[in-house]
């Protein structure tokens, strides 16, 4: 019988045999001396720890002399495990992994469009927009955001801004300034009208 056919059986028999005492002691010593820490992260962020072709994980393992165990794709609530002999290096590796996760979260935050709603009195919508959009157009063009006002027949006060988070925040600030300036102009005009009416009535 060819030796290739015997190999699987031999391997299976080897696996089923109990470990020699000296090997068991070595394994116990390894477990005892190994420092282990965990890092929790969303499953969708595991990729930043692994890196292209596993490059980031390999770099971490070589630099800190540790082993990184990343849960399989689709696993839920399973942490990343960092193991090593040197407690300090393990902690340094954990800090680096947490930093990579935080950087990726921030990168996604600033590059993912969001929508926010701002309340501006319906009566001021036309003034905030300006004639043919002259007030609002510089805001949308400069910040590269979309600003949606309700239709004329809709009495809602809600104005929706869509774009990158930082730009949307700036857009809200500029709309509030426009709203404030239009409100003040309206008050001045009302006061002038009252004054004129008073003069006429005399």
pLDDT tens for 119-152 read 999 999 999 999 999 999 999 999 999 999 999 8
More confident residue, 194 or 71: 71
Torsion region of 130: left, alpha or beta (phi above 0 gives left; psi -120 to 50 gives alpha): left
Digit-coded pLDDT (tens) for 147-190: 999 998 999 999 999 999 999 999 999 999 998 887 665 554 44
Q: Is 114-201 assigned to CATH 3.30.300.30? A: no
Return the CATH number of the domain spanning residue range 21-110.
3.30.1370.10
Q: How long a stretch of residues is the chain?
A: 202
Is the overall model pTM greater than 0.85, yes or no? no
Distance of alpha carbon 88 from alpha carbon 126, whole angstroms? 63
Q: Are strands 35-39 and 80-84 parallel, antiparallel or unpaired?
A: antiparallel
State the pLDDT at residue 38: 96
Q: Which residues of 37-53 are buried (b: 16+ CB within 10 A; e: fewer)?
A: bebebeeeebebbbeee
What is the domain partition of the chain in residue ranges? Answer: 21-110, 114-201
Number of helices followed by number of strands (H, E) in the chain: 8, 6
Distance of alpha carbon 48 from alpha carbon 182, whole angstroms? 48
- 25 pLDDT tier (thresholds 50, 70, 90): low
State the pLDDT at residue 34: 87
């Amino acid at each position: 019988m060819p030796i290739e056919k015997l190999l699987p059986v031999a391997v299976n028999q080897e696996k089923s045999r109990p470990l020699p005492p000296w090997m068991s002691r070595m394994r116990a010593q390894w477990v005892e001396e190994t420092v282990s820490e965990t890092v929790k992260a969303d499953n969708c962020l595991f990729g930043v720890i692994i890196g292209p072709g596993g490059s980031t994980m390999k770099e971490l393992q070589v630099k800190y002399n540790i082993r990184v165990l990343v849960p399989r794709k689709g696993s839920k609530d399973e942490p990343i495990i960092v193991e090593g002999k040197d407690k300090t290096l393990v902690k340094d590796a954990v800090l680096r992994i947490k930093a990579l996760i935080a950087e990726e979260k921030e990168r996604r935050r600033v590059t993912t469009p969001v929508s926010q709603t701002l309340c501006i009195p319906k009566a001021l919508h036309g003034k905030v927009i300006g004639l043919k959009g002259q007030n609002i157009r510089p805001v949308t063009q400069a910040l590269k955001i979309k600003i949606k006002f309700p239709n004329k027949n809709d009495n809602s006060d809600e104005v929706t801004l869509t774009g990158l988070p930082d730009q949307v925040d700036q857009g809200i600030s500029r709309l509030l300034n426009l709203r404030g300036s239009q409100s003040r102009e309206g008050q001045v005009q009302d006061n002038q009208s009252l004054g004129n009416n008073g003069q006429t009535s005399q």
